[in-house]
C-alpha cells in the first residue's frame, strides 16, 4: 500500500457514475469541506462486493449526518456500474445504491492509492477516510474474501469528528457517546482511573 496516511489525498480526475449518469471529470477535490470515505472493492457482479455496497447505502444517512461523502471505486467501467445499479438485489445487483461509483478501468486511481492486487488487476477491499482538508486520516485494507464492517467505518468517522470537535483523542474501543482523553500523561492517568480498558 502506498504510504499516504497523514498526507494530502492524491489528485484524482476520472469517470464516475453519479446519480445514475456518467460524469466524465469526477474529482475528489470537489468534496473539500466534507469528509470522504473512499472505498475500493474488487469487481461488480461478484459476491461479497454487493453486500458491502448495499450495507454502505443502508448507512448512508448516518454518514451524511456526519458530513461524510461515500464513494466507491472498482476497475469496472461506468457502463458496468450502471448495469449493476439497474440489477435487482435479489439477482445479485445493487439497485438503490446512490452514492458515486468511480469506474477505474485504466487502474490509475487504484495505483495512486496502492491497492491493486499483484497480478490480478483488481483492487483489494481498501478504505480511506479523508478529512475536510483532503488529508488521509485512516486507512485499512482487507484481502478479497474478507468483507468490511460498515459499523467500524462509521465509528472511525465519528471518532475523527469527536477529535476535531473536542481536541481529545479516542482510546481503545471508543464509541460515540463515550469519553475521550487528553493526549497527555495526566489525561491518560485520569482516563484509566475512571474507565475500564479492555
- Mind listing the pLDDT tens digit for each residue in 89-134? 999 999 999 999 999 999 999 999 999 999 999 999 999 999 999 9
- Name the catalytic one among 49, 73, 78, 170: 49
pLDDT tens-digit series, residues 140-198: 999 999 999 999 999 999 999 999 999 999 999 999 999 999 999 999 999 898 875 55
Is the per-residue pLDDT at 1 higher than 60? no
Chosen CATH of 13-148 out of 3.40.50.1820, 3.30.70.270, 3.40.30.10, 1.25.10.10: 3.40.30.10
Cell of 56: 454502505
What is the reported pTM?
0.95
Q: Which three cell numbers stand for residue 112?
A: 495512486
Q: Please give the pLDDT value at position 81.
A: 98
170 catalytic? Reply is no
Amino acid at each position: 500500500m502506498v504510504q499516504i496516511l497523514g498526507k494530502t489525498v492524491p489528485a484524482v480526475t476520472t469517470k464516475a457514475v453519479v446519480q445514475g449518469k456518467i460524469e466524465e471529470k469526477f474529482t475528489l477535490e470537489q468534496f473539500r469541506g466534507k469528509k470522504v470515505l473512499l472505498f475500493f472493492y474488487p469487481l461488480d457482479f461478484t459476491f461479497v462486493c454487493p453486500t458491502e455496497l448495499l450495507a454502505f447505502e443502508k448507512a448512508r444517512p448516518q454518514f451524511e449526518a456526519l458530513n461524510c461523502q461515500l464513494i466507491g471505486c472498482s476497475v469496472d467501467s461506468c457502463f458496468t456500474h450502471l448495469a449493476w445499479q439497474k440489477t435487482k438485489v435479489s439477482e445479485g445487483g445493487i439497485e438503490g445504491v446512490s452514492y458515486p461509483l468511480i469506474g477505474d478501468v485504466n487502474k490509475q486511481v487504484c495505483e495512486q492509492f496502492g491497492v491493486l492486487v499483484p497480478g490480478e488487476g483488481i483492487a483489494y477491499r481498501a478504505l480511506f477516510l479523508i478529512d475536510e482538508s483532503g488529508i488521509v486520516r485512516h486507512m485499512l485494507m482487507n484481502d478479497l474474501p474478507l468483507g468490511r464492517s460498515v459499523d467500524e467505518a462509521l465509528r472511525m468517522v465519528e471518532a475523527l469528528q469527536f477529535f476535531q470537535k473536542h481536541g481529545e483523542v479516542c482510546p481503545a474501543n471508543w464509541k460515540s457517546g463515550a469519553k475521550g482523553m487528553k493526549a497527555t500523561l495526566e489525561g491518560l492517568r485520569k482516563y484509566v482511573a475512571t474507565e475500564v480498558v479492555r
